[in-house]
Amino acid sequence: MKINIYYGGRGIMGDPTLFVLSKMQKVFDELNIKTERYDLHDEKRNIISLPSTLNDADGVILATTIEWYGIGGYMAEFLDACWFYGNKDKISNIYMCPIVMSTTYGERQGQLTLESAWDMLGGKTISGLTGYVKDSISFEMNTSYINTIEKTAENFYRNVSRHAQVLPASNKEVKAMVAATEVIDLTPQETEQLSKYASDENYVQTQKEDIRHLTDHFKSLLKYDGLGEEDAAIDKFKKRFVGRKGAEATYKFEVKEFSKPISVEIKDTTLSCTNLPIDSPQVVCHISKDKLMSILEGNGSFQEAFMAGEMQVKGDFAMLKALDELFPEPNELLKML
């Protein structure tokens, strides 16, 4: 038999919940019950992986202290993690005893919160212990209080060891009807591994970055008629091109957001615009994706971008003016016509 204790307070000196837990653990030790305590304030970086520790528990104690309002952030985060990553089949067979001590108002509401959450998770709830403590020293010296705490521990042990029958709760039915989460067909080992991944900040950030890149990619497909941004830029170069006899120039556009530079080769009225590299371009332009697309869509010119410091140019600066003549703005194109 094993009992896990999850303490959601701040661990400060004089916390009455810590005193209650120490007395309960002493009773469990005398009964030769294996216990393991998790102080959530120390495990705050790993809270999201803690639901996996429920898998080998027969009973759990959810303990917290009401110091201002509600059960506190650590306990709430742990219960959230149980809902999203916990093994519901395992939880359904675990008995929970709520311990809520208060130095202000609200211990009854705190107990109700823990009981309701555990019921929603599918677990079994045993009567716990709540109390208001004004003076921690007087509380710890009161033998009647200590006796009540010890009896609560003994009662919890008896219920867990005998697999006490718990009457059904209505909020379990509500969960089944309107609060059901999508079932993920994972083994307990896979569930535990998933919770570990979720607690790895580097892994989570990498996943978020990958999702962001995919989102940007699909947005670009929608924005540019099914073309990716690189292909859309090449397409816009081709549509804006106005060749002239005797024109001969090579440009390379290095765009930070693009995987490859855009090569532009012009000879008379012929344009070659690709992602293929070219040898010794006459002009190399460094420009952002947003600015390049804005210019190609008719908002400003390459010369203006250069003067504003939004485009850096290397090579033959005389060819920069020719760039705007070969790819004129829509209003300039109308004048030429």
pLDDT tens digits, residue range 287-336? 999 999 999 888 889 999 999 999 999 998 888 888 888 998 765 544 44
Domain with CATH 3.30.1050.10 in the chain: 229-336
- What's the confidence (pLDDT) of residue 173? 61
Q: At what angle do helices 188-199 and 201-223 cross, to 10 degrees?
A: 80
| Fold of the CATH domain 2-181 | Rossmann fold (3.40.50)
- Residues 247-276: tens digit of each pLDDT: 899 999 999 889 899 999 999 899 999 999
Provide φ and ψ at 20, rounded to 5°. -60, -45
pLDDT of residue 32: 94
Other Cβ atoms within 10 Å of 195 Cβ, number: 22
> CA-CA-CA-CA torsion for 311, 315, 321, 324, nearest 10 degrees?
-60
In degrees rounded to 5, what are phi and psi of residue 331?
-70, -35
Contact 305, 311 (CB under 8 A): yes
Contact assessment for residue 50 and residue 74, using Cβ atoms and an 8 Å cutoff: no
Residue 232 CB neighbours (<10 A): 19
Specify the pLDDT at position 208.
Answer: 77
Residue 214: alpha-carbon gap to chain centroid: 17
Looking at every residue in the chain, the average pLDDT score rounds to 86
pLDDT of residue 272: 93
Report the candidate in 240, 119, 230 with the shortest Cα–Cα distance to residue 174: 119
Percent of the chain with pLDDT over 70: 83
Residue 228 has pLDDT above 90, yes or no: no
pLDDT at 193: 64
pLDDT single digits (tens) 13-71: 899 999 999 999 999 999 999 999 999 999 988 898 999 999 999 999 999 999 988 99
- CB proximity list for 155: less than 8 A, separation 6 or greater: 126, 127
Mean pLDDT check: name the lowest of 102-106, 177-181, 189-193, 240-244.
177-181
Mean pLDDT across 143-164: 95
Q: What span, in angstroms and rounded, lies between the C-alpha atoms of 85 and 191? A: 7
pLDDT for the residue 207: 74
Q: So what's the architecture of 229-336 in CATH? A: 2-Layer Sandwich (3.30)
How far apart are the C-alpha atoms of 161 and 147, rounded to whole Å? 21
Structure tokens at 304: 């203006």
The string of pLDDT tens digits covering residues 46-58 is 898 999 999 999 9
The pTM assigned to this predicted structure is 0.56
Contact 35, 71 (CB under 8 A): no
Measured CA to CA, the distance from residue 229 to residue 220 in angstroms comes to 6
Would you tell me how many other CB atoms lie within 10 Å of the CB of residue 306? 19
- Looking at the chain, which residues constitute the CATH 3.40.50.360 domain(s)? 2-181
Task: State percent of the chain over pLDDT 90.
Answer: 57
Q: Which residue has the higher pLDDT, 179 or 21?
A: 21
